[in-house]
Amino acid sequence: MEMPRAWTENAIKRRISLAMLAGFVLKAIAANCEALPIGPWDLRPQPTAGRLTNYLDIHIHNFVALAEGCTQKQLLLCRSSV
């Protein structure tokens, strides 16, 4: 039986590269944003990629609701006005 394309050596290398790129982008965004406290015990929060990831994970339903409520035309209009 033939190996699925998702598990070829080239596909694995590309996924690893994409994951590293996403990590670098998160680090760069986190470094330029304000520090996000995790809870009330967090007296001196640090601007890290992990905190930004947790924040985005908590608020993902806001992005999903926004995406579901917009039509393709509205998304294009929003993109062109920026």
3-state helix, strand, coil in the chain (%, to 5): 70, 0, 30
Residue type, 72: Q
Residue 74 has pLDDT above 50, yes or no: yes
Mean pLDDT of 69-77: 67
Q: Where are the domains of the chain?
A: 5-81
Report the SS3 class of residue 45.
coil
Give residue-wise pLDDT tens across range 8-55. 888 899 999 999 998 899 889 888 888 888 888 888 888 888 888 888
